[in-house]
Each structure stands twice: as C-alpha cells, then as structure tokens.
Amino acid sequence: MDRQKHYDELIAWYKDFQLVSRISSVLQWDQRTYMPKLGMASRAEQLALIDGLAHRKLTEPAMVAKLNELAAVQAELSEDQRVNLREIKREVDRATKVPNDLVEEISRHTAKSNAAWVEAREADNFNHFAPFLARMIELRKLEAAALGFADRPYDAALDLFEPGSTEPYVRKLLEDLRQRLVPFVHKVLGAEKHDDSLILREPFPIDKQREFGLMVIGKLGFNFDEGRQDISAHPFTIGSKGDVRITTRFNERDLRQSLFAMIHEAGHALYEMGLPDEHVDTPLGQSVSLAVHESQSRFFENTLGRSLAFWTYFYPDLKAAFPTQLGGVPLLKFYEAVNIVAPSLIRVEADEVTYNLHIVLRFEIERAFMAGEVAVADLPDLWRAKVKQYLDIDAPNDADGVLQDVHWSEGLIGYFPTYTMGNLYGAQLREKIMADLGDIGVLCARGEFAPILNWMREHVHRLGKRYTANELIERATGKKPTAEPFMRYLAEKYGPLYHL
C-alpha cells in the first residue's frame, strides 16, 4: 500500500464531503434570514437531498476501506496525518451506523420544524410546534439507537456536540457549579439594586444600533471580507473558514440585546476565522467542540464586552452615536446597566451570574424528554415550574418560555450544556491570558484587542481538532477544567459592583 497516496486520496475525498456540507449550511442560513415563507416545502426537500448526498459521500465503501487500511498502519503516519485520520474515522464510524434515509428525514424535518417554531413563537402557540418537536425527539432517538445508544439516547446527543461527554458527567459538572453558584446569586440579589432606566428612556434607532455594533466587532477582529452580519429570529453563527455568517435581532427600546448578541456571535466567528489556512476542510482546520466554541463567544461577549475597561474605550463612540439617549448617562451608570444581575426570563439576555441556571433547567428538561420521562404536551408546565424553581419568576407565555430558544426545533438536543462548559473554559483561559499578557483591562481600555485575539489564536484556534476539548484547555492553561476560575471571576467582578 502506498500510504501517502492513500492518505492524499482520503483527504481529497473528505474535502469533497465538506464542500457538499457547506452547501447545506448556506441553504440553512438563507432559510433563517431571507427566504420567503412559501419556499419552505421546497427548501426542506433541497436540504434533505444535499444532506443525503453528504452522508452518502462520507460512507462511500471504497474510501471507507482505504480509511480502515490507513488506520491499521497509523503508527507510520505523521502526527498531523494521525489526527486527521482519527477524526475522520470517528466521523465515518458514526455516519456508517446511521441509515441514509434517516439522515434525509432528519434534515427534511429540521427545515419544517424550524419554520413551525418561528410561526409558533410569533403566535405564542406551543400546540402548533408540539407535533414537530415530538417527531424531532423520535428521530433523534432512532439515530441514537442506530449509533448504539438505544438505552442512553441523551449520551448520543451530547457526543455530537461535545465528543466523549456523557449525561452523568454533565450532570455532576452542573450540580457542582450550581452548589457554588446559588449562594453567590443570593448574595448579589440581596445587595443594592442597580437601575437601567437611564439608558431606556429613548428609543435607539435600529440602523444606528447596527452601525455601532459592526464597528465594535470590526475592532475586535471580525473580518468583513470573510464574514457578514444579518438579522434572524434567533442569533446564530453558521459557515466555516472563508465564509462565516452571523446574525442578531434588534429591539428599538434596548440596544443591549442586539449589541451583545453581535459580540457573542462575533466570538464564534473569530474562532472560525482563526482556524489554520493550511488545514482548511480537514479536521485540523475545524473547531474542536461546541463548548470550546462557546468559550470564545462568551469570553468576547462577557469577559471583554461587559467589562468597565471595554466601555472606557467604546463609550465615547456610543454616546456620539446616541447623544439624546445617552448624553446624560455617566460611564459608570452605563457599566452598571450592562451588568445588572436580576432573574431574567430570556436566556440570551440573562446576566452572567444567573445565566447558568437557565442551562441547568434546560438540561434537566431535555434529558427528561429524551428518557421518556415527560410528554411533549407537558413541557410548557414543566418549563414554568423549572423557571420558578431556579429563577423565582413566572413565565407569562410560551413564546418567552418553552418556545424562546431555537435549538430543539433544529434537533440541537444536548447543545445547551456546552454553554456552561464554555463559560468555565473561558474563565480558565482568561486567567492564563492575564498571566501571560498582564491585565487585559489595560489593553481593552486602549482598544488594543489584537494581543488578546492573537493569544486565543495561538493557544486555541490554530490547533483545530488536534486535541480533545479537555486536553486543549489543560494544555492552554496548565490545569484540568474546573469551575473555580469562573467563580473567582464572578467574585472579582460582581463583588465590587454590588459591594459584597
């Protein structure tokens, strides 16, 4: 066997698969941004066809045979080749277990389910979405069974987004964090409240919000030659190296919603843009996991974007853009307003302190419906009960309750825990960046974001899938992932803010 020839053929074949997958991504982006409503039936069939083609490409018997031949002699390959081989084999092994007709049905149903969710949320009508969600759960269980997880369907879901994670591991992680977090939340909520009424007196024109947000993410490093920003019902990032697309949604009464969503999605985009050019469309040129992805988005949105130093630099420009709305609002009042800690019904608008409680309740709900412990029809009531339990607030409707997130409509069951894992990873990376670069607040106050981004690119982005998520964080920081840096970060920031 000519190992190099086989390897080159394998990579060319895998890159063709990636090209087909990119077509699917663009179709999904179009569906969620500009596509007319009446195009849904046709788009569902288009996505089913494309995703079916991608699946058949990835499971071509001749190439799978070459993959297995190379795996038998992988010790004789270079380190880069072994990494690509390992990750391609993992992907192929998963794909070969799932029938192509199931892949197409999941794709077809996802397009329809997402459209139904948009309509249901707009109408505050969970019953409209319920049969689509029930079918999505059924399809994901069929997929789990095909993958060998018939008795552990939630593990199959988790493994798609965070390879190697299991329900017991995630449950322990979230429980450990919850035990540390809840007492801290109570301390903050018992302290003197900050007021955001000063920044909500006048409307913020959407065109000005967009202009300012684009300026901010450009300063952070977002390259508009390989990325764009649009509007959608729920903010998201899609695409890959060379073509990364992000979205936000606007509220004329509160610029914080669009602005921090833009910064969050830009964090995802910066990760994709920072992946190594020489490994594009191979595993070494792909992000390692959703939790690491979230470590980037949450870091840029919160650690940087909600810091006093960040607004020391950007606030003069913001006041110039909105002189009537913010002309009389001091910097410190604005800083307090973007860091108000208060139980929030909407996850994407939640503060850093209570945010992870949103993840706990979603984790508990989705693991319950995957285990068959709760019926879809009962989800609205269960959601209200969980919101009351963890956040002590009442959900007045389903649109801002069980229907508020896009994830389940797209089959992204098991995605939510990666947000909390990303928070923990991001806080741990922050401590190492501070150790290497000094006080990043000094850099932010001067508008010098390049050193921070370059550190992330050196220690996270450029590594692609060379290591597992846990290995990557440990190599970058010298320590295994833990909740302690995140709790230290909260104490350092919110202790002074709330005079604890």
Identify the three-state secondary structure at position 446. coil
Backbone angles phi, psi at 240, to 5 degrees: -155, -175
Identify the three-state secondary structure at position 378. helix
User: Quick one: tokens of 293?
Assistant: 């992805």
CB 311 within 8 A of CB 334: yes
236 contacts: CB under 8 Å, gap ≥ 6: 32, 246, 247, 265, 406
CB 204 within 8 A of CB 255: yes
DSSP 112-131: HHHHHHHHHHHHT-HHHHHH
Strands 227-231 and 243-248: parallel
Report the run of H or E that residue 82 belongs to, with start and end.
Answer: helix 79-97
Instruction: Give, in degrees to the nearest 5, the angle at Cα 173 between 172 and 176.
Output: 80
Catalytic status, residue 265: yes
CB 242 within 8 A of CB 19: no
Cα separation, 347 vs 349, in Å, equals 5
H helices of 289-378, where? 290-298, 308-321, 323-326, 331-337, 355-370
CB 388 within 8 A of CB 345: no
Strands 227-231 and 237-240: unpaired
Q: Considering 265, 294, 336, 366, which one is annotated as catalytic?
A: 265
CB 17 within 8 A of CB 58: yes
Strands 237-240 and 243-248: antiparallel
Cα separation, 320 vs 410, in Å, equals 40
Cα separation, 71 vs 361, in Å, equals 41
CB 342 within 8 A of CB 474: no
CB 130 within 8 A of CB 376: yes
Sign of the C-alpha dihedral, residues 313, 196, 254, 243?
Answer: positive
Residues belonging to the active site: 265
